[in-house]
Structure 1
């Protein structure tokens, strides 16, 4: 799960380097990923049998939520700024375990519940939410979009985990189906908002291919393999390492200089995730095989 978060953490940097609009990036990261995922999914189904029809619909719905997440979050960045949007989308750390609790009766540990506010506070510092973004135009709309994006992402994580539990031999297939569905939704929403431009320079195609292979294929396959083996609150907590790793990559790749408050936020998130993930013998917080 940490490796998956690491693969996701390069997304913002690669999108910047690709120099394309939000709709184009959201659509092509999924569409290009299918070039790698489809042959792997076909091979997997030949080895392990047909994917259950009920789980096919589960994966397609999960992908639709993921595609909507991509577009809504990007729009929220334009409305409220990247810092606040980064904080708000991480509402998944609360929604994902709540969905598992509501539908699967998976317990939520007291340790996790107590640590959640600390993790979100750390993310706020990492994202620079305490600083004012002069480009923020629509605070209310952006806030609602970011929260909706986080809830949609949590829905994807929950449905993908459910597929993994019911059919553990199929790891690639649900990710492939979800990515195809996400490409369709992101393409439609992207076309209706920022537009989808396929006439981009060769350098942009190269960066988009990197985005697809690392932040879509590798990231979501790693997460799909790990999620059924972890409690939902553990998965949600570990994914909070993504913005922390993004800050580190920004320093190395783009020579960015994080503010002291961002470094403090990174330390807070890492410490909180470690504390929430501990599992003393007297406390059971797994809820999964």
Structure 2
């Protein structure tokens, strides 16, 4: 599993925010030019669209969780490294503090990749993407603990609704899709969502600079290390699964990782968290559509009800007061 360009600027200039809103400001300054000068809303929409198809490509590859997570990072680095080096020559080195954020965020991203891939195998690509939205509940808590940015009352009201929706969508409550493993799916999906929330939080804190590819490259390198270690210890890692699986993972890496994260970095650095959360709604909606149309997945009625609850809870939490 991002949302009105002016909210963060309003918060920084001291004007009142909506009662349901909260903000965790990025520390780096804003710049113009390149992707950093584009509309953050459009960048976030593009990133969400790319990420929504990622689970479908992982499922089509047919490889285990550790292999999928490690190879997606390795394949992404083939593209990212030369572009990041060119960016470094053009813009100079990225600040050391920001690079530390990139590496720690990437370590969490690697954990997310492994658990999310396993969740895809257990409950399907569409439901696994919905489960990833548990990060919507975790992200504000991280901001509260580390930046003292308090979630609004609406967040606390809708949190139980979100959790019930996640349980229904996974099949842990109600009727799961035949052949799925709802209990393990929700556990792995929740773990992935928590790790992804940490990645988003650290990316926001270290973002906002002129570099757009370099931070993604560092995060992907760290993600490759952590996913490789976790995958080797848990599911095993097959470095040569065949041309078919490699092809699907290459497509997923290009769109769901390289392009998505390059677009997401500058967007998160300039969007208020509530706005980012609203745009994240595109991911589960599109993922469910893709899973049903292209993979033949058939979530049950209660799972669809859970998906609706998750989307409604995130939308209600994210929208501005009138």
Q: Which range, TM-score by smaller chain?
A: 0.7 to 0.9
Are residue 239 (structure 1) and residue 280 (structure 2) matched?
yes
CA distance in 2, matches of 1:266, 1:42: 41
CA distance in 2, matches of 1:172, 1:97: 26
Q: Which runs of 5+ in 1 are unaligned?
A: 282-289
Are residue 7 (structure 1) and residue 87 (structure 2) matched?
no
Q: Contact conserved, 1:164 with 1:228, CA < 8 A, in 2?
A: yes
Match of 1:52 among 95, 103, 115: 95
Q: Spell out, residue by residue over 1:245-270, the C-alpha distance to the aligned partner (whole angstroms, 9 max, x if none).
A: 21100122123334333444444444
Written as runs of structure 1 = structure 2, the 5 A alignment for 1:1-289 is 1-75=44-118, 81=123, 89-129=132-172, 130-132=174-176, 136=181, 146-165=189-208, 168-280=209-321
The structural deviation recorded for 1:212 is 0.4
Q: Spell out, residue by residue over 1:16-41, the C-alpha distance to the aligned partner (whole angstroms, 9 max, x if none).
A: 21121211110011111112212222
Normalising by structure 2, what TM-score? Answer: 0.74
When structure 1 is superposed on structure 2, of 118-127 and 80-89 the one drifting more is 80-89
Q: Contact conserved, 2:130 with 2:310, CA < 8 A, in 1?
A: no
The structural deviation recorded for 1:81 is 4.9
* Inter-CA distance 6–155: structure 2 relative to 1 (3 Å threshold): same
* Inter-CA distance 9–86: structure 2 relative to 1 (3 Å threshold): closer
**DSSP 3-state at the match of 1:91:** helix
Number of residue pairs aligned between Structure 1 and Structure 2: 276
CA distance in 2, matches of 1:249, 1:278: 26
The structural deviation recorded for 1:163 is 1.1
The structural deviation recorded for 1:160 is 0.6
Q: Contact conserved, 2:129 with 2:283, CA < 8 A, in 1?
A: no
* Inter-CA distance 118–125: structure 2 relative to 1 (3 Å threshold): same
Equivalent in the alignment of 2:31: none
CA distance in 2, matches of 1:243, 1:121: 16
The structural deviation recorded for 1:184 is 1.2
Q: Contact conserved, 1:238 with 1:273, CA < 8 A, in 2?
A: no
Q: Contact conserved, 2:170 with 2:186, CA < 8 A, in 1?
A: no
| Aligned alpha-carbon RMSD (Å) | 2.9
Q: Contact conserved, 1:100 with 1:232, CA < 8 A, in 2?
A: no
Normalising by structure 1, what TM-score? Answer: 0.82
The structural deviation recorded for 1:88 is 5.8
CA distance in 2, matches of 1:91, 1:41: 31
* Inter-CA distance 102–147: structure 2 relative to 1 (3 Å threshold): same
The structural deviation recorded for 1:159 is 0.7
Q: Contact conserved, 1:127 with 1:243, CA < 8 A, in 2?
A: no
Q: Which runs of 5+ in 2 are unaligned?
A: 1-43
* Inter-CA distance 49–55: structure 2 relative to 1 (3 Å threshold): same
CA distance in 2, matches of 1:75, 1:210: 19
Q: Contact conserved, 2:64 with 2:118, CA < 8 A, in 1?
A: no
